[in-house]
């Protein structure tokens, strides 16, 4: 009985509304809709595939991501939304292999800092309820590291650009590629970490501009940078005491901070908006910069992080991630390895 009722109903609608309604109804079938979303996504992101086999494989991955996104958004109990972005035809493994690139030295891998350090922001008492270094004009537009595992270079450059603006008043655009090509202790597109890059900048007497040494998303030989082309320099760097979001807060109140975190989940890959508190551990795979903090109207505290995955990811390239999550290492291990440049 139910079947014939539905049949009559759709026949009725078809008669009344004309043939476009039949198309509209077939569009709501799950498979058709996924194919349509895939075609639309391909158009938006300018994707091309070598052949129909590759396209078929990518479609399967896309559908897997799409289902994951829709299930998460429909669960109704999350403080964040997922969405399609430039990475929606990649598996988590592929995504991590080509778009992250943190490689901590073995002594620090999945351990907190061990060396003794000084922490110049230890006695900071002027810690506002919220701060946004982007609004303060101390952060450049979102960048895209592309298919090069050099998140570490983008994280380093972000915090060096910011401290330059905070101390001197002008916001330079500095060269990630110089770090990729020239930081001998790191591995270019195959990974590195920020403290080694800070060391390089200090020893090199500074770093040149993006225009002078522009980003190519691939490993290259180190071009000699003339002293006259140096546009920014730092005098040192420090590590924030590990596993302590309270100490991290003092540092971020004073300047953007480079951090390592675990970006290895499907939720992180498809994050679109809201306060992220999705699944992640402390597998240090990625590096970003914390550029602010605050809390929502309902009191949820968050850090604002600046990523290097372009503007289709997250809140126009940024993520708000839960702060004071209730574990010392912070959500996704974000409080394990923070550091910042000194000028």
Residues assigned a catalytic role: 151, 286, 307
If the CB atoms of residues 225 and 263 are measured against ligand NAG, the closer one turns out to be: 225
Q: Which of residues 123, 125, 221, 224 is near ligand NAG by CB under 6 A?
A: 123
**Under rule CB under 6 A, residue 122 binds ligand NAG:** yes
Q: How far apart are CA 248 and CA 257, in angstroms?
A: 8
**Cβ 153 to ligand NAG shortest distance, Å:** 19
**Under rule CB under 6 A, residue 209 binds ligand NAG:** yes
DSSP letters spanning 43-73 = HHHT---SSHHHHHHHHHHHHHHHHHHHHHH
C-alpha distances out from residue 319 to 65, 80, 82, 206, 293, Å: 19, 10, 12, 30, 11
Neighbours of 93 (CB within 10 A): 9
* β-bridge partners, 301: 295
| 242: CB partners within 8 A, 6+ apart | 112, 113, 335, 336, 337, 338
If the CB atoms of residues 59 and 213 are measured against ligand NAG, the closer one turns out to be: 213
Region 22-81 residues binding ligand NAG, contact defined as CB under 6 A: 75, 77-78
**Under rule CB under 6 A, residue 223 binds ligand NAG:** no
Q: How far apart are CA 244 and CA 338, in angstroms?
A: 10
**Cβ 227 to ligand NAG shortest distance, Å:** 10
Q: Which of residues 96, 207, 231, 331 is near ligand NAG by CB under 6 A?
A: 231
**Under rule CB under 6 A, residue 229 binds ligand NAG:** yes
**Under rule CB under 6 A, residue 224 binds ligand NAG:** no
Q: How far apart are CA 62 and CA 56, in angstroms?
A: 10
If the CB atoms of residues 32 and 117 are measured against ligand NAG, the closer one turns out to be: 117
- Which residue ranges make up the site for ligand NAG (CB under 6 A)? 75, 77-78, 120, 122-123, 208-209, 212, 228-229, 231
């Amino acid at each position: 009985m139910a079947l014939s009722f539905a049949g009559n109903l759709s026949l009725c609608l078809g008669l009344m509304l004309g043939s476009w309604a039949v198309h509209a109804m077939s569009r709501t079938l799950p498979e058709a809709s996924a194919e349509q979303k895939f075609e639309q996504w391909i158009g938006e992101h300018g994707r091309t595939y070598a052949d129909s086999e590759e396209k078929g494989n990518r479609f399967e991955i896309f559908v897997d991501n799409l289902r994951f996104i829709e299930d998460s958004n429909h669960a109704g109990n999350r403080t964040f939304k997922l969405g399609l972005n430039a990475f929606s035809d990649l598996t988590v493994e592929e995504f991590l292999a080509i778009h992250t690139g943190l490689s901590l030295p073995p002594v620090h891998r999945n351990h907190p800092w061990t060396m003794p350090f000084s922490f110049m922001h230890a006695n900071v008492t002027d810690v506002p309820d919220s701060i946004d270094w982007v609004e303060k004009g101390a952060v450049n537009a979102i960048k895209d590291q592309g298919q090069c595992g050099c998140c570490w270079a983008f994280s380093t450059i972000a915090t060096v650009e910011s401290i330059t603006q905070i101390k001197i008043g002008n916001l330079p655009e500095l060269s990630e590629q110089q770090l990729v090509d020239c930081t001998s202790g790191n591995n270019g597109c195959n990974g590195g970490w920020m403290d080694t890059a800070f060391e390089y900048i200090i020893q090199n007497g500074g770093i040149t501009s993006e225009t002078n040494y522009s980003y190519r998303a691939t490993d290259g030989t180190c071009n000699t940078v003339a002293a006259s082309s140096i546009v920014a320099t730092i005098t040192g760097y420090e590590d924030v005491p590990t596993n302590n979001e309270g100490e991290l807060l003092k540092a971020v109140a004073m300047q953007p901070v480079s951090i390592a975190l675990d970006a290895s989940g499907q939720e992180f890959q498809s994050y679109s908006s809201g306060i992220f508190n999705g699944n992640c551990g402390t597998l240090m795979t990625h590096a970003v910069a914390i550029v602010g903090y605050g809390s929502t109207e309902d009191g949820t505290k968050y850090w604002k992080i600046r990523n290097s995955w372009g503007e289709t990811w997250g809140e126009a390239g940024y993520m708000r991630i839960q702060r004071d999550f209730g574990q010392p290492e912070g959500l996704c291990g974000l409080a394990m390895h923070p550091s910042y440049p000194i000028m």
